[in-house]
C-alpha cells in the first residue's frame, strides 16, 4: 500500500539572511530619502550603476568596457534628471546603449544595450518622482510618493514571500520562475496595495479617497511583480540563479530592485501623464 505523501512544509531557510540584509538596505534607502537632494540622487545612481555592472557581467566578455561606456551615459542622464529634464536624459541613455551595443559581440548586442536602458530607467524614474533640484517642487508630495512606492514594493515582496511559502499551490509561470506561485502573487498584490494605502492615508496633505489609492497601489504592485518576472526571464536566458552574490539572502542588486524598477517606471509615467491627481489626490501630485 502506498504511503500518503507527507504534508508540504514551508521553507524559510533563507529568512534570517533576508531579514538582516533587508534591514540594512531599508535603512540606507530611507536615509537617502530623508537627506534628499544630491545624496538621494547619488544613492540611486550607485544602485543603477550596480545594476548595469551585474547585467553586463551576465552578458559576458568585455563587461568592464561596456560598463564604463554605459555608466557614463547613466551618470549624464542622472544629472539631467535631477535638474528636472528627464526628456533630455533619454538622449545620453540612447547614445550609451548604442555604443555599448557596438562594443558587444554580435549575438549579444541587444542584451548589452538593454542593460543600459534598464539601469538608466531606474535613475530617471526615481528622479522624476523626487527631483533633487531644491525648491522645484513642494517636498512633502514627492517625498510621500516615494514612501508610498517603497511601501507598495516592500509590501508586495513580503506578502509574496510568505504567501507563496505558507499557501503554495499552482506556479505562476514555471517556465520563467519555478518558485513563484499564484497564491504568492495574489497575497503580495493585496499586501502591497494595503501597505501603500496606510502610508497614503497617514496624515494626508489633501483629501485622499481610499478606493483610488488601493487601485493605484494594486496596479503598482502588479507592475512590481511583472518586473520580478522580467528579471527572472533575463536570468533564465543567461542560465544563472542570481545576478550576483552581493546581498546575502537576496542575490544581487538586480535581484533586490527588479520589482522596484518597473514600479518606479509605472509611477513616473503616471505622473507624466498628469493622471495621478485624479487617481490618488494628495499622494502622487508632483507636477
CA–CA separation, 26 and 9 (whole Å): 29
pTM of the full structure: 0.86
Residue carrying the nine cell digits 543600459: 116
- What are 197-253's pLDDT values in tens digits? 999 888 776 777 889 899 999 999 999 999 999 999 999 999 998 888 888 767 899
- What are 68-88's pLDDT values in tens digits? 999 999 999 999 988 877 788
Which three-class secondary structure state does DSSP give residue 251?
Answer: strand
Q: What ranges make up the beta strands (E) of 110-257?
A: 171-173, 177-181
pLDDT at 136: 42
C-alpha cell at 55: 547585467
CA–CA separation, 114 and 100 (whole Å): 9
* Nearest Cα to Cα of residue 82 among 123, 121, 34, 47: 123
> From residue 127, how far is each of 57, 84, 276 by CA, in Å?
26, 8, 17
Residues 6+ apart with CB under 8 A from 24: none
Check the CA dihedral 154-159-164-165 and report its sign. positive
Which three-class secondary structure state does DSSP give residue 247?
Answer: strand
pLDDT tier for residue 1 given thresholds of 50, 70 and 90: very low
pLDDT at 7: 46
DSSP bridge pairs for 191: none
pLDDT at 247: 80
pLDDT tier for residue 5 given thresholds of 50, 70 and 90: very low
CA–CA separation, 213 and 36 (whole Å): 25
Amino acid at each position: 500500500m502506498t504511503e500518503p505523501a507527507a504534508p508540504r512544509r514551508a521553507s524559510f531557510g533563507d529568512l534570517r539572511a533576508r531579514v538582516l540584509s533587508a534591514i540594512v538596505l531599508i535603512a540606507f534607502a530611507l536615509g537617502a530619502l530623508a537627506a534628499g537632494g544630491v545624496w538621494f540622487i547619488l544613492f540611486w545612481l550607485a544602485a543603477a550603476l550596480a545594476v548595469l555592472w551585474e547585467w553586463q557581467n551576465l552578458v559576458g566578455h568585455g563587461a568592464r568596457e561596456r560598463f564604463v561606456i554605459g555608466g557614463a551615459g547613466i551618470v549624464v542622464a542622472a544629472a539631467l534628471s535631477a535638474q528636472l529634464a528627464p526628456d533630455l536624459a533619454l538622449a545620453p541613455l540612447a547614445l550609451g546603449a548604442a555604443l555599448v551595443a557596438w562594443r558587444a559581440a554580435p549575438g549579444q548586442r541587444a542584451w548589452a544595450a538593454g542593460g543600459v536602458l534598464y539601469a538608466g530607467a531606474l535613475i530617471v524614474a526615481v528622479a522624476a518622482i523626487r527631483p533633487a533640484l531644491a525648491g522645484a517642487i513642494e517636498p512633502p508630495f514627492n517625498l510621500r510618493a516615494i514612501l508610498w512606492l517603497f511601501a507598495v514594493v516592500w509590501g508586495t515582496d513580503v506578502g509574496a514571500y510568505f504567501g507563496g511559502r505558507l499557501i503554495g499551490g499552482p506556479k505562476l509561470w514555471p517556465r520563467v520562475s519555478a518558485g513563484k506561485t499564484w497564491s504568492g502573487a495574489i497575497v503580495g498584490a493585496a499586501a502591497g496595495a494595503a501597505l501603500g494605502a496606510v502610508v497614503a492615508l497617514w496624515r494626508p496633505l489633501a483629501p485622499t479617497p481610499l478606493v483610488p489609492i488601493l487601485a493605484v497601489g494594486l496596479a503598482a504592485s502588479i507592475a512590481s511583480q511583472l518586473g520580478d518576472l522580467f528579471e527572472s526571464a533575463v536570468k533564465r536566458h543567461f542560465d544563472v540563479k542570481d545576478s550576483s552574490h552581493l546581498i546575502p539572502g537576496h542575490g544581487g542588486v538586480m535581484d533586490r530592485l527588479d520589482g522596484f524598477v518597473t514600479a518606479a517606471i509605472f509611477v513616473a509615467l503616471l505622473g507624466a501623464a498628469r493622471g495621478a491627481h485624479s487617481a490618488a489626490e494628495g499622494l502622487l501630485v508632483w507636477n
